[in-house]
Structure 1
């Protein structure tokens, strides 16, 4: 991993986007889509329907925003960008078939990734086998990168193994008599959330936090009453949930139903959704911890302009999913521009040797495509998701150590 970064390429320093046609909210029809004339086609398959459709909508809009910016600023290599989008309905087999189709039948020029470790784990292999650069906006499971693929890159600051770091450090910094004594671990069966929860358990146990409950639930679980009631009986001080989307909201509702509120509560992913406060009630967000790959308040080049233009275009502030998609596009654009042609191997080699400034901060990668940075620790405070660690990025100096009970 000791690799020299030869250049820092400025990309997206100012994101003053103009409105351009870059696709609708519906996936365009398939067909011959290869590069012709003044167009560069970029293929992707996204879960536009199915279990995570609401979350992936934001990610798709992030891709649309990036395409609009590129096209408003002269295109990519002087050509307009066209997104070719298929719907995988959050099904692995469909995603595999879609990316194979994009390469072999649609003859797209470039690829961008889908969402979640669940989908990216198999799809990355399709891209690698066909020697296509594959930049994924989400899906930080370390198992994806254990295969040491050459063409795979993750467009977030860190992977799953680093997700617990800031929260565990927060617990470690507390006086021993104030730390939580017991913890419950509950996670969706997903190659990102399940390993992260296991790391939480390992590190917190080492700090003396006793595990009193540990379970993994199926991705299609919708009723959490039984899990919530069992956790209530165990009465942990701390609950860690490896949530992906609506499952985080569902567990909270079940906690309310059975009458249990932990003193400390950490959830992955779900608390970063813009709809989270309305789904659980603004008062019920208070004190919930999560990890962030992105913050709208972060002072990275182009971020403020991205937030303003995205909000204007879609009438809502960008979520983390939207920002991660935009970032994946920034990374692809930086490499293609630097290489000067659609050379997949050249693009991959360039990314392995360089650092790219993005709206989530400067990104660089090791030989496996794993980013070398770290995530942010955030907490809901007074209706806002505040960054509390590291201190250099903090938007709040306060930390709520004892979460209030649920409010009706």
Structure 2
């Protein structure tokens, strides 16, 4: 691979060719060699309904590897990625990780995208006693199985995601709070947990639920959902979106219904700063809330260089998904460097007892692999994703409320 340093880098091969759906490089010598390249196995949904979100994650992994190799690699060896496409299918992701471990004999693993895929994929890693650092997939059920080799590379899980937005709602005078809410969500372990927690906490604040419905991941027609929401006329819409496809799909369907809620929160989709505004229309992003793990403006270790290198290669700033993948790489790198070997049990033991400095801050994990930290509350304002909470992380003191109507 062409080299890049922590202060300068060469060229990364662009996404989009058929070969990149199979691997970023030829498979390394695997666990049978201590002198050849260290090979890291990953399965990603590079095709299918969430490809728009997983491709930036793939790019984040590649930026991390390029920087790593330019600074000497791991244990004095260069690092290669072996990436397989699972098409957002649970059976395929299981087959892919089994292949990576038993057939390709990769040295290390990194996680895939979404709770839907990480739930079965992490089971394969645990069964084979291999460290599994996942960049996304914060559903509680993933961490309630007593796994020893599983770690989440974001500041907190899906159960904690509503915290900052609910805190904002509770800070409003009673007469300015929403009275009713709708809860559409993609049927996914991550969004299911998050939206249910939103509904629980907002109900405790006196916000009445007037609509709640799950839709299949392959849904492309959101007109029936938008029609039902419009009839219910909620003040607030909490949408459990997985990617830009369903996030934008609901917004455009609501536009056709000529219904614009006073407040709207979507998971995941609004953080896709490249594709989301194009999909819904830049003016229609105004006032939409989301929660992210990362900010391009943060001063955490390595963040400025990550943003610089990613932007140079791909022509736009990294997304939250790209940053999450890069963070997972940082966690794996720290474990290998401090342990000094590829012993999977020692790597897991070290992470259970040691903090790691990353581009989302210092991460620490409990015995389940759950991190201890805070997510960021973001809102689209004047064509830019601004951060409005928590204290100390804001990029603006202004919050747009109510959300303007669609343009």
Same fold (TM > 0.5):
yes
Q: Distance in 2 between matches of 1:276 and 1:227?
A: 20
Q: Deviations over 1:317-375 (max 9, x none)?
A: 11111111110000000000000011100000000001001001111100000111110
User: Does the 8 Å contact 1:186/1:216 carry over to 2?
Assistant: yes
Q: Distance in 2 between matches of 1:56 and 1:248?
A: 15
Q: Distance in 2 between matches of 1:358 and 1:22?
A: 25
User: Does the 8 Å contact 1:77/1:341 carry over to 2?
Assistant: yes
Q: Distance in 1 between matches of 2:296 and 2:401?
A: 24
Partner of 1:9: none
Instruction: Give 1:88 shift.
Output: 0.7
Partner of 1:144: 142
Partner of 1:272: 271
User: Does the 8 Å contact 2:15/2:55 carry over to 1?
Assistant: no
Q: Does 1:180 align with 2:171?
A: no
User: Does the 8 Å contact 1:19/1:72 carry over to 2?
Assistant: no
Partner of 1:262: 261
Distance 1:17 1:345, change over 3 A: farther
Q: Mark the runs of 5 or more structure 2 residues left unpaired by the alignment.
A: none
Distance 1:15 1:32, change over 3 A: closer
Partner of 1:67: 65
Partner of 1:52: 50
Q: Distance in 2 between matches of 1:164 and 1:122?
A: 25
RMSD across aligned positions (CA): 1.4
| Structure with bigger RCO (C-alpha 8 Å, 6+ apart) | 1
User: Does the 8 Å contact 1:30/1:86 carry over to 2?
Assistant: no
Q: Distance in 1 between matches of 2:36 and 2:218?
A: 43
Q: Distance in 2 between matches of 1:349 and 1:174?
A: 44
Instruction: Give 1:271 shift.
Output: 0.2
Q: Does 1:247 align with 2:243?
A: no
Instruction: Give 1:176 shift.
Output: 0.6
Q: Deviations over 1:40-96 (max 9, x none)?
A: 010011111111112111000000000000000011010000101111111110100
Partner of 1:123: 121
Instruction: Give 1:160 shift.
Output: 0.5
Partner of 2:205: 207
Q: Distance in 1 between matches of 2:181 and 2:15?
A: 45
Instruction: Give 1:16 shift.
Output: 2.2
Q: Distance in 1 between matches of 2:337 and 2:123?
A: 25
Q: Distance in 2 between matches of 1:378 and 1:58?
A: 19
Partner of 1:159: 157
Q: Distance in 1 between matches of 2:8 and 2:100?
A: 28
Normalised to the residue count of structure 1, the TM-score between the two structures is: 0.94
Partner of 2:88: 90
Q: How many residues align?
A: 394
Normalised to the residue count of structure 2, the TM-score between the two structures is: 0.94
